[in-house]
Structure 1
Amino acid sequence: MKLKQFYQQTHDLIQLLKVQFPHITVQMITLAFCRSTPNFIVLFGYSRILDLLLTSQFQAAIQVVTIMLVSSYLLSFIGNWIDSYLQGYEFITDEVVMSQVNYMSFTMRYDIFEDNDSMQKVRAVSNRMNATGGTGSFLQIIILLCTNLFSVLYAFCFVGYLFYQAMQYSFYLVLLLLLAVGCICLGVMILKRTSAYYEDLNKRNIHNNSVFSYLLTTMVNVEYKKQMMINRMGQLFEKYFKNIIQTFHVYLDFSKRKGRYESVYNFALSIFGACTYIYIAYLSLHGYLSIGSVLLYAGAMQQLIQYISGCITSYSDAVFQLDYLNYFTDFLHDESIRTTGSLPIEKRNDNAYEFCFENVSFHYPNSEQLVLSNVNLTFKIGEKLALVGQNGAGKTTII
């Protein structure tokens, strides 16, 4: 999914929730900011405190400690406060969206809503929400994605300033950048493999949930239970349950495979971290960096790789859920199923409506003889009208 399409679908889904929660976008961005900022405040504060202590500037170090603690705790408090609201939203966001879908269903043409494709989509969305989560789970993934993006931005600022200070050693810097790009590419490759396998597992889980719900509903029904006992269907149900249980072993295999991939990726990150420390220590020995800056830039470099991987993972999870959640927005924004023109008859309160026949002709199936030919009639509500004609003229057919 392209970024523009991802942004548009996410925006449309959040707009549905704004009907009930008008400030949800600001709350999500603020929470992501409050979650990501304290880590870098503490990282910068520790490096600054270390430099001040080494130069015996104890009073200034105390001030930095005070500012660091107050700012980080204040942001954590604001983040926890907003998070408590969003956790409450998580339990009712699905109901908010479904209420709009239900309202749309009541105001649309029944033949469209009764269409098999429409009903299959509704059931598919319900099954997938049960298997992988609904809009509340999606909001948590978006918050995590925004948190990772803020963290990447902070890390880029620190790393960019480090590169600016170390322009004289550009050759070593290029090697370090190539190693960083290699780690990112390895992470993307591993993520693609695990995501494809994980998506396949979720599809199996969706199918298993549907089968299990059907089996459970059937088994607790008294009439169906009688039929099962009479027709000796116990072995058939046992077969289905064994197939469901076998999928649990597939999840275990996935965990093992994911663990192997992550161990390779973590090993690559360890090599990158060691090279980063060596490079930064080399700059420190030549007087370009202070001791505290070594701690700051080494931590920023490692967090940059970590949060870039986190962004990729969060984006992949969000795209997977958007594949079925965007059906809600497509359904609600579909102009072809909306009622157009005047209000439906049953919704008028003034009884100001009429039935009109304009040049109506009719013949019965398998007959070419017209029963009605170019009939023009108007039935107005509240008026009386008598239909007069010969036998077989079509009076009953009109009624």
Structure 2
Amino acid sequence: MMKNILRIQKWMHKMDMHILPLSVLRSFVKSLLPFLEAYFSSLIISMIVDNRLDSGTLYFYLLCMVGSYIVKELLVVITTYFIDIRSEKIMLKMDKEVHLKALHLDYETLENPESLQMIQRAKEAQNAMGGVDVWFNYTSSYLENIFMVIFSLAVVTDLLLKVQTFTDMSFISILTSWIGSILIIVSIVVNLAVQAKMNAMSNSAQMELTNINIIFNRQYNYLDKIISRDYDFGKVIRLYNMQDMLKEKLEEKFQNSSKGYTRIFKKTGKILGTSLFLAAILNLVLYLVVLARAFAKLFPVGQIVLYVQSLLKLSDGLGGVGIYHSALITQCECFQTYLEFLELDSMQQLGSIHIEKRSDHEYQIEFENVSFHYPGSEEYALKNVNYTFDLHKKLAVVGPNGAGKTTFIKLLCRLYEPSEGIIKLNGIPINKYSFTEYIKILSVVFQDFQLFAFPLAHNVASSKLYEEDRVISTLTKVDIIERISQMKDGLDTYLYKHNHEGVEVSGGEAQKIAIARALYKDGSYVVLDEPTAALDPISEYEIYKNFDDMVKDKTSIYISHRMSSCRFCDHILVFDQGSIIEEGTHDSLLDEKGKYYEMWEAQAMYYR
């Protein structure tokens, strides 16, 4: 456990090399001052009791007390100020690191529900139990209590040695002998044991509370999004009168959360009450021993303040070490999740071979006995797929829902690694190539494509830097340039109303922009997954009619449920249950009267 704490501290130090030294300085100053105050107070009291008043010495002691207090307060305020600022900067860095890691994770990892939960927990770790600033407050308190124990032991050891010979069974005699010293040690040990047990119970309850918060925040954030932050849900909510249902779900989340909070607060209240009661009894023993020894004149009366203060600080310090050690361990569990997320491996980053840039687009891709099943599933989505793409040709991939068409394309795009078999580019396994360079040869539009609430030109170019003529050219090819010309800011118009002056685009318009993005990228392979699903028949016809000019000498792949798209293609693959069951031209497959013929006939009425 200590190893984990040190690991987190080392990582925090790497994030900001000054924050830990500042925490140590603050802890040292805060722990030392009470002993200085107690020491000078004991000297002043002893002067008064012994009638040894000396105004010069008295003023000196008072000046030392006040001066040490002022220095301590100034140092604490200054160090706290810088610790808080640096903690906030670390929080921002953590948030940035989570997003950067998520951006560069393998799609396979990102799509995994366990990874999504880890991302959520990594984000929660930044705020769980107060986040980084509380971590350093705990660290400072932990160190402060360690220093307090060290300073206390130096004074308490002196007290334990101030004993007199055991003469009788009187109360004073017992407390002033070595038996009294043993009572002090036993009281401190018992108090420490009780505190440790109570701390363990309290931290268990605190961790339970943190888990409740994580679950509640995740569920509440989703409801908050669909109710007040994502206006796309607004139409459905109102047209289907879902207000009452959502209100009930909100109430349900709050009630479940409230019950959990109440249960835990009752538990921690009992723990705190028990702890305080036992501490009061044990402290009473310490007071009696010190007073008995002062009465027996084993030390000057003024030192009562110093010894009592040191005994209390020793007891508190030992308990505090346990409290903050446990608290840091509890927070470690939160930060461990964060670090584990940052340490997730990315298979995409393993390849290093560069891809030669070719203007002739001669990139040969082939599947060799490729099989694949999704993580957590034993059922194959693809089974023994073998295919070599014909360069500069148009390929149609068809089949019923769940046949494996989109999985076939995801493997081609290296979004997943094959479970079995190998995919090659120009004879070399694609995972040997740099992922960044490999995807440059692919221009893909998936059925569930996404546009961003960024300027239109940035969406098309996938970058803030773009060639205006190329953007206009691709938008013209997909027959949407007239709509763009009507927008207030033209290519600089923001899409969607996530921005104040964004414009809404229809599903068909969005799909055309997505196709324009793929054309702008100028990949050697153009992959369109249901490219015309949101287009009307006339727009669909125009897209396919002009596609020869759009893709030119590139290799193009179309996944579609609309069999009409197949007539524009040179070759057709028919998938069913994860395998290629038929392949050929449109006419040859119709002559076979197999699965393709069956699908064509089912839609033929729409083409006649």
| TM-score (ref. length: structure 1) | 0.79
Kept in 1: contact 2:87–2:133 (CA 8 A): yes
- Following superposition, the deviation at residue 138 of structure 1 comes to 1.7
Q: Within 5 A, what are the aligned runs for 1:206-245?
A: 206-220=214-228, 221-245=230-254
Other structure's SS at 2:298 match:
coil
Number of matched pairs: 368
Structure 1 residues 267 and 92: CA distance shift in structure 2, 3 A: same
Q: Within 5 A, what are the aligned runs for 1:205-354?
A: 205-220=213-228, 221-246=230-255, 247-333=257-343, 339=349, 342=352
Kept in 2: contact 1:41–1:72 (CA 8 A): no
- Following superposition, the deviation at residue 30 of structure 1 comes to 0.7
Q: For 1:53, which of 48, 53, 58 is the aligned residue?
A: 48
Partner of 1:138: 135
Gaps of 5+ in 2: 166-176, 371-382, 391-423, 429-436, 438-608
Structure 1 residues 100-153: Cα deviation after superposition (integer angstroms, max 9, x where no partner): 455555666555555544333111221343453322332222122222222222
- Work out the percentage of aligned pairs sharing the same amino acid: 16
Structure 1 residues 334 and 214: CA distance shift in structure 2, 3 A: closer
Task: Answer with 250-259 or 47-56: which moved more.
Answer: 250-259
Q: Within 5 A, what are the aligned runs for 1:1-399?
A: 2-8=1-7, 10-18=8-16, 22-55=17-50, 56-58=52-54, 59-103=56-100, 111-112=108-109, 115-166=112-163, 169-220=177-228, 221-246=230-255, 247-333=257-343, 339=349, 342=352, 362=368
> Counterparts of 2:105 and 2:33 in 1: how far apart (Å)?
50
The structure in which a higher percent of residues are strand is 2
Kept in 1: contact 2:13–2:20 (CA 8 A): no
Gaps of 5+ in 1: 382-399
Structure 1 residues 99 and 52: CA distance shift in structure 2, 3 A: same
- Following superposition, the deviation at residue 57 of structure 1 comes to 3.4
Kept in 1: contact 2:148–2:317 (CA 8 A): yes
Structure 1 residues 243 and 342: CA distance shift in structure 2, 3 A: same
Larger-Rg structure: 2
Structure 1 residues 234 and 113: CA distance shift in structure 2, 3 A: closer
- Following superposition, the deviation at residue 29 of structure 1 comes to 0.7
Structure 1 residues 370 and 37: CA distance shift in structure 2, 3 A: closer
For 2:28, give the aligned amino acid: F
Structure 1 residues 66 and 235: CA distance shift in structure 2, 3 A: same
Structure with larger RCO (C-alpha < 8 A, sep 6+): 1
- Following superposition, the deviation at residue 345 of structure 1 comes to 6.2
| TM-score (ref. length: structure 2) | 0.53
> Counterparts of 2:285 and 2:427 in 1: how far apart (Å)?
90
The structure in which a higher percent of residues are helix is 1
Partner of 1:388: none
Structure 1 residues 239 and 70: CA distance shift in structure 2, 3 A: same
Structure 1 residues 292 and 252: CA distance shift in structure 2, 3 A: farther
For 1:316, give the aligned amino acid: S
Structure 1 residues 196-238: Cα deviation after superposition (integer angstroms, max 9, x where no partner): 2222122112111111111111112333233233434334323
> Counterparts of 2:33 and 2:22 in 1: how far apart (Å)?
17
> Counterparts of 2:147 and 2:348 in 1: how far apart (Å)?
41
User: Over aligned residues, Cα RMSD in angstroms?
Assistant: 3.7
